[in-house]
């Protein structure tokens, strides 16, 4: 797994612990416009190998993700090119949107309620739809029942349709009546204190990276650091339901963390793209566009 390529120790340690699939998902999202028809398996092996990800783990993970319907593989010469399936694109797009989501107090006081009704043999489709719910910040009320204070009806139905599971999902939108109150319900569904602590940890770890500036890091380090900060931010925002401001403490650090992420993106992106270009140049006719 990732060696850290000279990164600060705490950040390198977290990168070391990341699943290989996270590197693949993040690469697909990062290079979507540059590899519109998919990314060659050889690029994954070589580029991720340069930051310490084991080549065999990359190949095995690509094979597993293809077999489970997360990716599709197309043979191109002697190598496969890998692209996300439609439902996977939905998850990737949602994850990227969550990291830049605007904070607002606007709310119609209605909840989106999702009831999953999958048969035992549909575990794979159920798990993938559950991932869609979680990436959009749904809280789990009980087994198979998820809540969100924002209107997420269309995205849930679209995801269920793309998975061929529309008949196994019921979606409702309505007000809460009786107890607990909306504020109490949010506290029961989401651990806001723990979420705030994670945001502050992200700020403490990555503020020095942003302050140093992109020129302080090699292109290879910029490439690795992009994975590092995106992995951590994505995991936090995955669990953040983007609640109306009325339910958040006054010192909520989510906005600062997102602003820092934008600063990191601006500082690290040029070097990361240059490094991706260097690897892509070794793949016939696969140079990454600026």
* pLDDT given at position 2: 47
Using 50, 70 and 90 to split pLDDT, how confident is the model at 289? Answer: very low
In tens, the pLDDT along 13-23 reads 889 889 999 99
Q: Which two tokens stand for residue 116?
A: 């999953």
- Burial of residue 265 (number of CB atoms within 10 Å: 0-12, 13-18, 19+): middle
Domain spans of the chain, in order of start: 110-174, 191-272
**pLDDT at position 285, please?**
52
d(CA 138, CA 45): 34
**pLDDT tens, position by position, 126-149:** 888 888 888 888 999 998 899 999
For residue 83, say if its preceding peptide bond is cis, omega within 30 degrees of 0. no
The string of pLDDT tens digits covering residues 190-231 is 999 999 999 999 999 999 999 998 889 999 999 999 999 999
110-174 has which fold?
Alpha-Beta Plaits (3.30.70)
User: Which residues sit opposite 80 in a β-bridge?
Assistant: 75
Q: In this prediction, what percent of the chain has a pLDDT beyond 70?
A: 96
DSSP secondary structure of 212-281: H-GGGS-HHHHHHHHHHHHHHHHHHHHH-----GGGS-TT--HHHHHHHHHHHHHHHHHHHHHHHHHHHT
- Token reading at 216: 């302080």
C-alpha separations of 274 from 40, 168, 174 in Å: 18, 45, 49
Q: Report the pLDDT averaged over residues 59-87.
A: 90
Provide the pLDDT confidence category of residue 287 given band limits of 50, 70 and 90: very low
- Residue 3 scores a pLDDT above 80: no
* pLDDT, the chain, mean: 89
pTM over 0.75: yes
* Lowest-pLDDT range of 220-224, 235-239, 258-262: 235-239
């Amino acid at each position: 797994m990732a060696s850290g390529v000279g990164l600060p120790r705490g950040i390198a340690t977290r990168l070391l612990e990341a699943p290989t699939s996270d590197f693949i998902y993040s690469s697909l999202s990062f290079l979507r416009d540059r590899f519109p028809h998919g990314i060659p398996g050889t690029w994954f092996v070589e580029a991720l190998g340069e930051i310490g990800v084991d080549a065999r783990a990359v190949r095995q993970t690509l094979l597993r993700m293809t077999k489970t319907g997360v990716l599709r593989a197309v043979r191109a010469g002697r190598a496969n090119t890998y692209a996300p399936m439609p439902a996977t694109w939905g998850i990737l797009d949602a994850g990227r949107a969550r990291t830049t989501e605007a904070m607002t107090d606007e709310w119609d006081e209605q909840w989106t309620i999702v009831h999953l009704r999958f048969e035992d043999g549909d575990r794979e489709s159920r798990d993938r739809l559950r991932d869609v719910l979680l990436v959009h910040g749904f809280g789990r009320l009980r087994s198979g029942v998820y809540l969100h204070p924002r209107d997420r009806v269309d995205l849930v139905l679209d995801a269920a349709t793309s998975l061929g599971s529309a008949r196994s999902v019921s979606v409702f939108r309505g007000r809460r009546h009786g107890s607990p109150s909306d504020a109490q319900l949010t506290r029961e569904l989401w651990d806001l204190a723990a979420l705030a602590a994670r945001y502050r940890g992200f700020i403490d770890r990555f503020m020095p990276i942003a302050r140093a500036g992109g020129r302080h890091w090699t292109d290879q380090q910029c490439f690795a650091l992009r994975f590092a900060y995106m992995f951590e931010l994505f995991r936090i925002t995955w669990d953040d339901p983007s609640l109306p401001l009325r339910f958040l403490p006054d010192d909520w650090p989510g906005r600062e963390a997102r602003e820092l992420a934008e600063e990191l993106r601006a500082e690290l992106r040029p070097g990361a793209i240059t490094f991706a270009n260097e690897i892509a140049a070794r793949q016939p006719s696969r140079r990454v566009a600026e």
